[in-house]
Homo-oligomer: A and B are copies of this chain.
Amino acid sequence: MNEILILGAGKSTPVLIHYLAEKVKAEGWNLTVADLELTSAQRWCKDHKHVKAIGLDLGDNEKRRKWIKKANVVVSMLPPSMHGLVSQDCLDLDTHFFSASYTDKSIKEKEDEIQEKGLFFLNECGLDPGLDHMSAMKIIHREQSSGHHISLFKSFCGGLLAPGHRGGNPWNYKFTWNPRNVVLAGRGVSTFIRNGYLKFIPYHMLFKRKESVEFPGLGTYEAYPNRDSLSYRSVYGLDNIPTILRGTLRNRGFCKAWDVLVMLGLTDDSIELDLPKGFSPLMLTNSFLPYDPSRSPQEKIKQLIPDIDEETFAKLDWLGLFKSGKLDKRKGSPAEILLSLLEKKWHMEPEDRDMVLMQHQFIVEQGDKTKKILSDLVVLGDDQIKTAMAKTVGYPLGAAVYLFMKGKFKSRGLLLPTLKEIYQPILMELANYGIEFKEREEPA
Residues of A within 8 A of B (CB): 187-189, 191, 194-195, 197-202, 204-205, 209, 263-265, 268, 270-271, 273, 275-276, 283, 286-288, 290-291, 293, 334
- Given the complex of chains A and B, what is the CA–CA distance between A156 and B240 in angstroms? 51
Contact of A200 among B202, B271, B293 (CB under 8 A): B271
Contacts of A200 in B (CB 8 A): 265, 271, 273, 287-288, 334
Contacts of A199 in B (CB 8 A): 287-288, 290-291
A-B contact pairs, 15 of them (CB 8 A): A188-B271, A189-B271, A189-B334, A195-B293, A197-B287, A197-B291, A198-B276, A198-B287, A200-B271, A200-B273, A200-B334, A201-B265, A202-B204, A202-B288, A205-B265
Say whether A265 contacts B198, CB under 8 Å: no
Q: How far is the CB of A32 from chain B (nearest CB, A)?
A: 41
Contacts of A270 in B (CB 8 A): 187-189
* A204 and chain B: residue at smallest CB distance: B204
Contacts of A187 in B (CB 8 A): 270
* A227 and chain B: residue at smallest CB distance: B271
Q: How far is the CB of A243 from chain B (nearest CB, A)?
A: 9
- Among A191, A198, A283, residue most surrounded by chain B Cβ atoms (within 10 Å): A198
- Given the complex of chains A and B, what is the CA–CA distance between A293 and B242 in angstroms? 14
Contact of A194 among B194, B197, B263, B291 (CB under 8 A): B291
Q: How far is the CB of A43 from chain B (nearest CB, A)?
A: 39
* A209 and chain B: residue at smallest CB distance: B290
Contacts of A283 in B (CB 8 A): 198
Contacts of A202 in B (CB 8 A): 204, 264-265, 268, 288
- Given the complex of chains A and B, what is the CA–CA distance between A205 and B288 in angstroms? 10
Given A198-B276, A201-B265, 18 other A-B contacts at CB below 8 A?
A: A187-B270, A188-B270, A189-B270, A189-B271, A191-B271, A194-B291, A195-B293, A197-B291, A199-B290, A199-B291, A200-B265, A200-B271, A201-B288, A202-B264, A202-B268, A204-B204, A205-B263, A209-B290
- Given the complex of chains A and B, what is the CA–CA distance between A209 and B264 in angstroms? 13
- Given the complex of chains A and B, what is the CA–CA distance between A205 and B260 in angstroms? 12
9 smallest beta-carbon distances between A and B, as pairs = A202-B265, A204-B204, A189-B271, A194-B291, A188-B270, A198-B287, A200-B287, A189-B268, A200-B288
Contacts of A198 in B (CB 8 A): 275-276, 283, 287
- Given the complex of chains A and B, what is the CA–CA distance between A209 and B194 in angstroms? 34
- Given the complex of chains A and B, what is the CA–CA distance between A293 and B195 in angstroms? 10
Contacts of A275 in B (CB 8 A): 198
Q: How far is the CB of A434 from chain B (nearest CB, A)?
A: 37
- Given the complex of chains A and B, what is the CA–CA distance between A198 and B334 in angstroms? 13
Contacts of A195 in B (CB 8 A): 291, 293
Contacts of A291 in B (CB 8 A): 194-195, 197, 199
